[in-house]
Structure 1
Amino acid sequence: MGKQQHVGGSDRHSGSDTTGHDATDGDARLAAAQDPTTSQMTLIDLASDPSPAVRKAVASRGDAPAQALRPLARDHDRQVREAVARNPSTSVGNLLRLVKDADRWVRWAVAGNPACDESVRQAMVEAPDKELRGLVAETRELEPDLAARLVNDVSPEVRERLATHTHDPDVINALMADRTGRVRKGLARNRRTTAAQRSALADDPVVDVRAALVRSVELDEADLERLVEDRSVQVRLAMATSEIVPPHIRKALERDPDEMVASAARDFRPASGTASAVRAPRIAHRPSGGGTAQAGGAAR
């Protein structure tokens, strides 16, 4: 079977030589699993290798055959399953299995797989794991029916992430009526809002919403003039340090009655201009060293 005769040989010696041969055999099998010229049949054999490192190497290969990935999606080692969850060659059937995996890092890895289709995203939307629902809420081209379900998600965090990233005008309009301030704060960071929606957000009763708005999107002159007199020091300070506030507005803030705001306006220096007002969607990666930190600080 292809290169299998060169991988993991059967001759063993007694004594200290046995350990040396085991290590050599393991290195050879790992090298074969990583070698782009290794045959498909050999990869199938290596998918049942006793070494998790070898199985993970097979699971990570974009050219791994389905016969290799299928058992690896059920592997007892969670990092092997996570590698399958990230592999764009993984079948939809295996992704549907992995989205229900007991390990959260495996579930979250599915969200970043380009092979996900609507059926996989639907399974994510229906999952009890709110971080998983949050990850799918950040999908740029999320199907309208799935987005509509997330508009009413029980978790404000999920709705906030949908509000921040959605491109769907109907979803934005629906979330404008959300009673939770953090959800409207997500909308304030969304550059797909209309001028009318931004004007409404400029009048939002929650300070964090108005502060996020002036940092994230361009506003009409009337809104800027109203916000430069905002009752909240936090909002005026956000304007003084915002990259997108026009110079004449910042100049007006140099005369702000709060010295911290006035000083920030006078001392402002534009950054490189590479910072994005809205962060890219979060794709969870397991911390090196087996840490337990969660993606985005979300709950399990």
Structure 2
Amino acid sequence: MVQEIETCEDLVAQIDELGVEATVRAHRKPPLLTRILRDLYDLYHDQDRYLSFLAHYPLIPSDLAEQIASSLDPEKVDIAIGLAGNPRCPQQSLQRLTQHPQVAVRHALAANPNLTPKEFQTLVTDENEFVRATLAQNSALPNPLQFLLADDASSAVRIALSERKNLDTDVAVHLANSDDSLVSAATILNFSSDEELLQLWADQNKQHQQLLLLRRNKALPAPVSAALRTSPHAFVSRTALKGSELSGPEMLYLAESEDTRDRIFLAEQADLPASIQRLLAQDTSPRVRRRLAGNHAIHEAIALHIAASNDLNAIRTLAKNRATSDATLSELCQHPDDDIALLVAYRDDLASDHYDLLINHRESLVVAEHLAYQEINYDRFSEKVAQQLAIHPAPSVRAFVARSAQLTEALKNTLSKDPSPQVRRQLASNPSLSEHLLRSLFNDSDRKVVFAAEENFAQRIRKQQREQTQTDAPQPEPKPEQTTSKAERPRKGALFNKIANFFND
């Protein structure tokens, strides 16, 4: 807690303990007594540390500030900086400081809102651009001087001027038309005093000004946004439309635009009506059709249209689209181009019917081979495919089909002697394997094959035991006039069977 100041000596002790800056902050409210401040000056005017406190203290009496400034050594820069920024510093002292040889002092002075037009007039021609830039942002700068700074040779000064909250409208127009792109950009990005000027920049159809309007942090007025959405510059209009809901006329305009980029932009939008999507699906540009095929909101009818077309690039994009429907994927599974089917085969959202189409209904085995390398769990092979895969030169493919029930006994016998333990291990887990062939695998040289065969055999025994138990169990006599509804009976029976099967297992 800051000690209460009752005497000049208390203030001296606190300055020594906390420093000048902290002591100034500590006594803004309530202010120090004028008597204590005058005593400090009378007793310690020859010590810079305490003079610096007085110069920086914003509630110093004006006559005391003038007394310090009138006899101040130009070398004592810190004290001069404090006076230059002090709101209690009198006008004659401020005027004297405008001629101070140190830039830091004049820089602090330029930010003082209590400057009079005379000090502003002097500083507006200061040789240092940073002084002029600080002056340009001073809230008390007279309007006529804004025009002078608007033509300053330094871009930094003009940019600083453009960031004023009360920038004159005519000055803003002048700065926005500057040949210096940085000055023009800063003005359009920051100006907020007059919505009519924003509308003027939007209506002038100057591309760089319109793009800058779109980069503003604050939301644009509705008329300004509407002007930008209908800009003759395609990039401006697309940027203005991006992220907002398109109207019917806007979508139709983009769909019929001669600029391919407009139609590409439209094809990427979500929630497009089917009528617009149909137009885009028939677009002459393959880039447009491809972007539509990749749209997560593509309608199923449009997707099926693309899938049946000859546009391979669009079809490839459709095959990779995470939102493609199951019906469309089924069509792509039957596409004659193996590359298209392979793109579908490597998706992780396929159903069993899709695998059936990819494996059992294609002329070549290319896709089935790739699925075998992925080691997916599938055993619904057609007889023809099963026979072909069983004699495939790749062990991974033979292992893939070794669990199939469609293998002939001859092929199962051949696979039981396959040189690859991976193949024999999969065959040993085949539920349709004959008991004789299963027992022969008990003597396999690979322990994992033996374990798989034994587990398969054990499962069969447990299944037979469950079936025998259910056959031998006495049938309960029907109870007369059951009050239980028909809808409840299956549930009770199903629950009983689940419990019985659990304990049998």
| TM-score, length of structure 1 as denominator length | 0.61
Q: Deviation per CA, 1:253-291, whole angstroms, max 9, x where unpaired?
A: 6559999xx99xxxxxxxxxxxxxxxxxxxxxxxxxxxx
1:143 equivalent in alignment to 2:165: no
C-alpha change, 1:38 and 1:196, in structure 2 (3 Å) is closer
Paired AA for residue 42 in structure 1: L
**Are the aligned partners of 1:137 and 1:150 in contact in 2 as well (CA < 8 Å)?**
yes
User: d(CA) in 2 for partners of 1:62 and 1:226?
Assistant: 62
Give 1:106 deviation, angstroms: 1.2
User: d(CA) in 2 for partners of 1:106 and 1:120?
Assistant: 14
CA RMSD of the aligned region, Å?
Answer: 4.0
Highest RCO, 1 vs 2 (Cα 8 Å, sep ≥ 6)? 1
Q: SS of 2:167's equivalent?
A: coil
1:59 equivalent in alignment to 2:88: no
C-alpha change, 1:199 and 1:213, in structure 2 (3 Å) is closer
Give 1:77 deviation, angstroms: 1.2
User: d(CA) in 2 for partners of 1:135 and 1:235?
Assistant: 37
User: d(CA) in 1 for partners of 2:82 and 2:99?
Assistant: 15
User: Among 25, 32, 35, which residue is 2:57 paired with?
Assistant: 35
Match of 2:233 in 1: 204
C-alpha change, 1:78 and 1:220, in structure 2 (3 Å) is farther
User: Among 108, 119, 144, which residue is 2:144 paired with?
Assistant: 119
User: d(CA) in 2 for partners of 1:85 and 1:120?
Assistant: 13
**Are the aligned partners of 2:100 and 2:106 in contact in 1 as well (CA < 8 Å)?**
yes
Q: SS of 1:231's equivalent?
A: helix
Q: SS of 1:142's equivalent?
A: coil
| TM-score, length of structure 2 as denominator length | 0.39
User: d(CA) in 1 for partners of 2:98 and 2:167?
Assistant: 25
1:70 equivalent in alignment to 2:95: yes
User: d(CA) in 2 for partners of 1:227 and 1:188?
Assistant: 21
Match of 2:500 in 1: none
Aligned positions of 1:115-264 closer than 5 A: 115-164=140-189, 165-176=191-202, 181-190=207-216, 191-192=220-221, 194=223, 195-201=225-231, 204-206=233-235, 210-211=238-239, 214=242, 221=247, 231=261, 254=296
C-alpha change, 1:75 and 1:192, in structure 2 (3 Å) is farther
Give 1:61 deviation, angstroms: 1.1
Match of 2:43 in 1: 6
**Are the aligned partners of 2:110 and 2:131 in contact in 1 as well (CA < 8 Å)?**
yes
Larger fraction in helix? 2
**Are the aligned partners of 1:70 and 1:94 in contact in 2 as well (CA < 8 Å)?**
yes
Give 1:85 deviation, angstroms: 0.7
Give 1:136 deviation, angstroms: 2.5
Percentage of pairs with the same residue: 17
Give 1:55 deviation, angstroms: 0.6
Q: How many residues align?
A: 232
Which structure is larger by alpha-carbon Rg, 1 or 2?
A: 2
Paired AA for residue 8 in structure 1: H
Q: SS of 1:61's equivalent?
A: coil
Uncovered stretches (5+) of structure 1, i.e. residues with no partner:
10-24, 241-246, 264-300
